[in-house]
Amino acid sequence: MEALSDSVWLTISGWVLTFLGIPLSIFLTLKFQKNKKLCWYRISTNLLNGNRVKFENFQATYKDEPIENISVAKILVWSAGREMVCGKDIHTKHPLRIEFDGGNNEGLLEATILTSNNRSSEVALEKSADDTIRINFDHLNHKDGLVIEVLHTGTIPRDIKVTGDLRGVGLKEQAVIPYNTNDFLIPKRFAKKYPALTHKFLSLAFGTFLSVLGVILSLFLLVGFLFDGVTPDMYLVALLFGIASIIMLLLGAGFLYQGFRPKPNKELLNIFLDSID
- 249 φ/ψ angles, rounded to the nearest 5 degrees: -65, -40
pLDDT at 52: 62
For residue 59, what pLDDT is reported?
80
66 vs 111, which has greater pLDDT?
111
Dist. CA 74–CA 276, nearest whole Å: 7
Residue 4 — very low, low, confident or very high, per pLDDT cuts 50/70/90? very low
**pLDDT, tens digit, for every residue of 191-247?**
556 655 566 777 778 888 888 888 787 777 766 666 666 566 666 777 777 788 888
Burial of 192 (0-12, 13-18, 19+ CB in 10 A): middle
pLDDT computed for residue 180 by the predictor: 46
pLDDT at 146: 95
Is pLDDT above 80 for 114? yes
Most distant pair of Cα atoms in the chain: their distance: 90
Model confidence at 66: pLDDT above 50: yes
pTM: 0.71
pLDDT score of 123 more than 70:
yes
Q: State the Cα–Cα distance between residues 215 and 218, nearest whole angstrom.
A: 5
The average confidence (pLDDT) of the chain is 79
pLDDT at residue 57 in the model: 76
CATH number (3.30.70, 1.10.3470, 3.30.1380, 2.60.40) of 37-173 reads: 2.60.40
126-174, pLDDT tens digit by residue? 999 888 999 999 999 999 999 999 999 888 878 899 999 998 899 988 8
**pLDDT of residue 181 exceeding 50:** no
- The lowest-confidence range among 9-18, 95-104, 240-249 is 9-18
Q: How many CB atoms lie within 10 A of CB 92?
A: 13
Determine the pLDDT at residue 46: 87
Q: What is the 3-state secondary structure (H, E, C) of the chain?
A: CHHHHHHHHHHHHHHHHHHHHHHHHHHHHHHHCCCCEEEEEEEEEEEEECCCCCCCCCCEEECCEEECEEEEEEEEEEECCCCCEEHHHHCCCCCCEEEECCCCHHHEEEEEEEEECCHHHCCEEEECCCCCEEEECCEECCCCEEEEEEEECCCCHHHEEEECCCCCCEEEECCCCCCCCCCCCCCHHHHHHCHHHHHHHHHHHHHHHHHHHHHHHHHHHHHHHHHCCCCHHHHHHHHHHHHHHHHHHHHHHHHHHHHHCCCCCHHHHHHHHHHCC
16 — pLDDT class (breaks 50, 70, 90): low
Parallel/antiparallel/unpaired status of strands 145-152 and 124-127: unpaired
Decide: 144 and 269 in contact? Cβ < 8 Å.
no
Whole-number Å distance between alpha carbons of 34 and 80? 11
pLDDT in tens, 243-263: 888 888 888 877 777 777 767
Contact 74, 149 (CB under 8 A): yes
CA distance 216 to 248: 10
Helices 235-260 and 195-227 pack at an angle, to 10 degrees, of 150
